[in-house]
Amino acid sequence: MTLGQWATRYVPPAAVFVSLIGLWEAMVRIKDIPPYVLPAPSLILETLVTDRATLFASLWVTLKITLGALAAAVIGGVSLAILFAQWKWVERSFLPFAIVLQVTPIVAIAPLLLIYLDPQTAVLVCAFLVAFFPILANMALGLASADRNLIDLFKLYRASPLKTLLLLRLPGALPYFLGGLRIGGGLALIGAIVAELAAGAAGKGAGLAFRIVEAGYRLNIPRMFAALTLISLTGIAIFAFFTALSKALLGRWHESALGSER
């Protein structure tokens, strides 16, 4: 990419972002809005720095839950999708349960889970439940989408079911899986936050959602914004990571990873 191309690609979005933040800052200063109504971006940044010990400890808690839940969802979703692809009766028997869990709002399940499990485990399970379904659904679709002719070719060469899975179905499902991972990654974070709100876990294991509630009680609006900023940045980081992973893995063969030039 030449410098000119680079500039036309990155300068406009950056300029829009900077001017919106600048507008916000200016509004707060000119209208003299008190920080408990709307804090200026500079104050939010300042809060992030001064409260870093509390906030980043909570970020770490939320991040651990999100990534742990996502890892469990990947293992569970992918294995179940593989079972679905091998035996139709497994799909017919277990898919209804997966759908029930998917369509029941997580906020409605969370209080129940909190009765049965300790708060940290309950939060983890909630985050897992929301991330699980998109990964399962995408993976199952991907495994079922293998080219009919290629399946015939594998049949002609007497390929075992295991080899057909490893050499044909799994690589073919990769773009679908990565799509599911991007959705599931975002949802795991949302699930973790929602469950934390429901759990209201305090003390050592307090995540970012609890910090928001706590700051709300104390009318510490800048800290609420600071915690919110960290949640957003985490979500963006997860999405960006999986997008980059997609590009790296699909780079040379899948349509989705190709540039507009042909």
Is 162 near another protein (CB under 8 A)?
no
In angstroms, the Cα distances linking 38 to 27, 217, 224 are 10, 16, 11
97 CA to centre of own chain: 22
| Only segment of 35-43, 153-161, 177-185, 232-240 that touches another protein (CB under 8 A) | 153-161
- The residue among 90 and 257 lying less far from another protein, judged by its C-beta, is 257
Query: Which of helix, strand or coil describes residue 157?
Result: coil
Long-range contacts of 15-21 (CB under 8 A, 24+ apart): none
Of 85, 168, 194, 224, the one binding another protein by CB under 8 A: 168
Is 149 near another protein (CB under 8 A)?
yes
- The residue among 31 and 158 lying less far from another protein, judged by its C-beta, is 158
Token couple for 220: 């510490």
CA dist 130 and 39 (Å) reads 33
Q: Where are the alpha helices (DSSP H) in 145-220?
A: 148-156, 161-164, 170-199, 208-217
Is 257 near another protein (CB under 8 A)?
no
Q: Are 38 and 28 in contact (CB under 8 A)?
A: yes
Is 245 near another protein (CB under 8 A)?
no
Instruction: Please report how close the Cβ of residue 244 comes to another protein at its closest, in angstroms.
Output: 18
Instruction: Please report how close the Cβ of residue 253 comes to another protein at its closest, in angstroms.
Output: 5
| Only segment of 5-13, 75-83, 165-173, 201-209 that touches another protein (CB under 8 A) | 165-173
Of 84, 128, 133, 154, the one binding another protein by CB under 8 A: 154
CA dist 220 and 227 (Å) reads 11
Is 118 near another protein (CB under 8 A)?
no
Chain residues binding another protein by CB under 8 A are 147, 149-150, 152-159, 163, 167-168, 171-172, 174, 252-255, 258
